Amino acid sequence: MKPLTLLEHVGCLKTQMGACFVGSRAVFRGHDLHAELKDMEWVELFVFGITGRRFSAAQLRMMQALWTYTSYPDARIWNNRVAALAGTARSTGNLGIAAALAISEATIYGRGIDIRAIEFFIRAKKQVEDGGNLTEIVASELKQKRSIAGYGRPIAAADERIKPIMALARSLGLADGDYVRLAFSIEEILSAGRWRQSMNCGGLAAALAADFGLSPQEYYLFSFPAFLAGMPPCYIEAQQKEEGSLFPLTCAHIRYEGVAKRRWKTAED
Amino acid sequence: MSEPVIQTRIWQEEAEPDNPFAARAAFCRGYDVYGELLGQIRWVEMLALLFRDEALTKAEADLLEALAVALANPGPRDPAVHAAMCGGVGGSTSAASLIAALAVGAGQYGGGREVFLVMQAWEACGTNLDAWRQWLTAPTTDEVSIWPAPQHKPGFDPHGASTATPVKQALACFVSLNSSARLVWLEQHRAEMEEICGLPLALSFVAAAALADLGFSAEQGEMLHLLLRLPGAAAHALEQRQLGHKKFPFFAIELQHDNAREQA
């Protein structure tokens, strides 16, 4: 069976990523955080931490805007609702918002879509470069997975974020990247066909990230704070209002559809 | 907008006459929870009833209870419990310690996702050794998802030298309590499975077999595995809070990329 390789790792962290030398300095991916990196914007440091690479000012501006444009302080939205419920239940803001971010890693929106969307774009572009036909690639993906991440939307047809994202991308000279053009070509195919789906913000954001050179995992980690700015307002308002007053439900709001009332019998041998 | 109702097959409530927000009676799958179940039903029977319509038999309840004991504390070396202790030692909230245990204990290395994947394999392979042989020797899928790419066959210990004694003890105990199909088959074929895989069986495989024999789906099994491992995380987190951070390992570090040192 396997050798005991874990013994090599006991007691000591060997790392390329960084260290805190308490009382003297902190190293972040090889660089002194308070000297070499001290002028970095937070988003720049965050993306540098994920990728180890530097990005242009225009790209960083766009990345930050992707988070700005997806932060809605609407406490009905499932992830935000968690932050707000923490407020109404008088839990801590940190717990509520951390849980809301964890909830944002969903299958039909958020991180689950993000990673699938960028992975498909990268794969589709390669297939097209290898001589594939985009319509056939899209049809095959739909046949296999029944949906294409980044197209269609669970609760609405159109996505109000596309217009402002594209306006900013154009002003920054980032609107004509290979992946953004591919994303719109896929939208044309999907809207013309029987599928009738348009691109959503998740699709466009993933295409921009792919144009910036992010890998699926890098983009997945980058997207983590995407909804964050909308969450504290939901927590704050719920916490300021009367406790328990957010989305109260009476007993009659439970619609029971299960087994009829019955008597319990203790299980015997 | 539609009426904001919550549809459920699990829970029904009747309101007190003077307050629509206070339940006079609550029914779990048809049974009166406070009026009848309380004091009569075992904790593990209630746990199962939340997930399925049929009450557990005595042998099933015994098995689930033994599983809950086996999973109750993975011990302080386990990454999930270690994470909970990181919460305790710094004085984080109790919920944060449990969230930490859940987040770390959710993974594919000994965690909930590993149990989920093994239960999916049980659904696909049943008690057919040839089907398991195929599953054990198939290359891992490279499908991109939020979960990292698997690095070992789920349910086996990638760092194991031989089958750990508690794994064998748990399997033997479970079989003695409930001679259900998968557990009995696993006890008979454990050595062959390990031979094919090249790794010893881990507790997650045995837990998945027990959960599948109890009729739980892969999703339900994942949830139960997450839940049942929390008690140890909670207790260890509180213990480290009491002991304080000076007694908790901080570990040495060897920084392999440091411009300041490389330029000096």
Nearest CA in chain B to A35: B260
Q: What is the pLDDT of residue B262?
A: 86
Question: Is residue A139 over pLDDT 50?
Answer: yes
Average pLDDT over residues A187-209: 91
Question: Is residue A160 over pLDDT 80?
Answer: yes
Q: What is the pLDDT of residue A156?
A: 63
Low-confidence ranges of chain B (pLDDT < 50): none
By Cβ distance, the residue of B15, B59, B254 closest to A13 is B254
User: Is the Cβ of A102 closer than 8 Å to some Cβ of chain B?
Assistant: yes
Tell me if B46 is assigned to some domain: no
The dihedral formed by the CA atoms of B148, B151, B157 and B159, expressed in degrees to the nearest 10: -110
By Cβ distance, the residue of A5, A119, A255 closest to B6 is A255
Is the Cβ–Cβ distance between B148 and B132 less than 8 Å?
Answer: no
Partners of A13 on chain B (C-beta within 8 Å) are 251-254
Q: What is the pLDDT of residue A71?
A: 95
Q: What is the pLDDT of residue A1?
A: 45
User: Is the Cβ of A247 closer than 8 Å to some Cβ of chain B?
Assistant: yes
pLDDT digits (tens, 9 = 90+) for B47-73: 999 999 999 999 999 999 999 999 999
- CB contact under 8 Å between A105 and B55, yes or no, is no
User: Is the Cβ of A9 closer than 8 Å to some Cβ of chain B?
Assistant: no
Q: What is the pLDDT of residue A192?
A: 84
> Which residue out of B44, B146, B253 would a mutagenesis test of the A interface target, given it has the greatest number of A Cβ atoms within 10 Å?
B146
Cα gap A246→A239, rounded to integer Å = 9
**Nearest-CA distance from B108 to chain A in Å?**
17
What DSSP string describes B109-149? TTSHHHHHHHHHHHHHHTT-HHHHHHHHHSPPP----SSPP
**Nearest-CA distance from A111 to chain B in Å?**
7
Give, in order, the Cα–Cα distances in Å from B212 to each of B107, B120, B207, B216.
Answer: 19, 9, 9, 5
Partners of A259 on chain B (C-beta within 8 Å) are 9, 29-30, 53
Is the Cβ–Cβ distance between A118 and A209 less than 8 Å?
Answer: yes
- CB contact under 8 Å between A119 and B144, yes or no, is yes
Q: What is the pLDDT of residue A269?
A: 74
Other C-beta atoms closer than 10 Å to the C-beta of A96 total: 26
Question: Is residue A176 over pLDDT 90?
Answer: yes
Q: What is the pLDDT of residue A158?
A: 80
User: Is the Cβ of A105 closer than 8 Å to some Cβ of chain B?
Assistant: yes
Question: Is residue A3 over pLDDT 70?
Answer: no
User: Is the Cβ of A52 closer than 8 Å to some Cβ of chain B?
Assistant: no
- CB contact under 8 Å between B93 and A95, yes or no, is yes
ipTM surpasses cut 0.95: no
Residues 6+ apart with CB under 8 A from B95: A91, A92, A95
- Do B194 and B130 share a structural domain? yes
Tell me if B264 is assigned to some domain: no
Question: Is residue A197 over pLDDT 90?
Answer: no
To the nearest whole number, what is the mean pLDDT of chain A?
A: 95
- CB contact under 8 Å between A2 and B159, yes or no, is yes
User: Is the Cβ of A93 closer than 8 Å to some Cβ of chain B?
Assistant: no
Nearest CA in chain B to A248: B21
- Do B69 and B116 share a structural domain? yes
Tell me if B141 is assigned to some domain: yes
**Nearest-CA distance from A177 to chain B in Å?**
23
- CB contact under 8 Å between B5 and A253, yes or no, is yes
Domain A111-222 falls in which CATH fold?
Cytochrome p450-Terp; domain 2 (1.10.230)
- CB contact under 8 Å between B257 and A16, yes or no, is yes
- Do B126 and B98 share a structural domain? yes
β partners of residue A199: A151
> Which residue out of A2, A22, A36 would a mutagenesis test of the B interface target, given it has the greatest number of B Cβ atoms within 10 Å?
A2
Tell me if B263 is assigned to some domain: no
Which A residues 210-229 touch B at CB under 8 Å?
216, 220
Tell me if B261 is assigned to some domain: no
- CB contact under 8 Å between A111 and B251, yes or no, is no
Residues 6+ apart with CB under 8 A from B201: B155, B156, B157, B163, B167, B190, B193, B194
Q: Which of A5, A47, A65, A4 is nearest to A229 (CA)?
A: A65
- Do B133 and B17 share a structural domain? no
- Do B82 and B27 share a structural domain? no
pLDDT digits (tens, 9 = 90+) for A8-51: 999 999 999 999 999 999 999 999 999 999 999 999 999 999 99
pLDDT digits (tens, 9 = 90+) for A113-135: 999 999 999 999 999 999 999 99
Distance from CA of residue A49 to its chain's centroid? Answer: 17
- Do B87 and B27 share a structural domain? no
Count CB pairs under 8 A between chains A and B.
159
In chain A, alpha helices (H)? 42-51, 57-68, 78-88, 93-103, 111-129, 134-145, 162-171, 178-192, 201-211, 216-222, 231-240
Q: What is the pLDDT of residue B141?
A: 76
- CB contact under 8 Å between A267 and B14, yes or no, is no
Cα gap A163→A88, rounded to integer Å = 35
Distance from CA of residue B91 to its chain's centroid? Answer: 26
Nearest CA in chain A to B77: A10
Cα gap B113→B225, rounded to integer Å = 9
- CB contact under 8 Å between B12 and A256, yes or no, is yes
Q: Angle CA(A216)–CA(A222)–CA(A225) in degrees, nearest 5?
A: 135
Q: What is the pLDDT of residue A239?
A: 98
Q: Angle CA(B129)–CA(B132)–CA(B137) in degrees, nearest 5?
A: 125
- Residue carrying structure tokens 């015994």: B62
- Do B67 and B149 share a structural domain? yes
The range of the structural domain enclosing residue B237 comes to 59-243
- CB contact under 8 Å between B8 and A257, yes or no, is yes
Give, in order, the Cα–Cα distances in Å from A260 to each of A237, A263, B11, B93.
Answer: 40, 10, 11, 41
Q: What is the pLDDT of residue A4?
A: 65
How many domains, in total, are found in chain B? 2
Tell me if B71 is assigned to some domain: yes
Nearest CA in chain B to A102: B103
- Do B143 and B21 share a structural domain? no
Nearest CA in chain A to B148: A217
In chain B, DSSP assigns E strands to 6-8, 11-16, 19-28, 31-32, 252-255
- CB contact under 8 Å between B6 and A249, yes or no, is yes
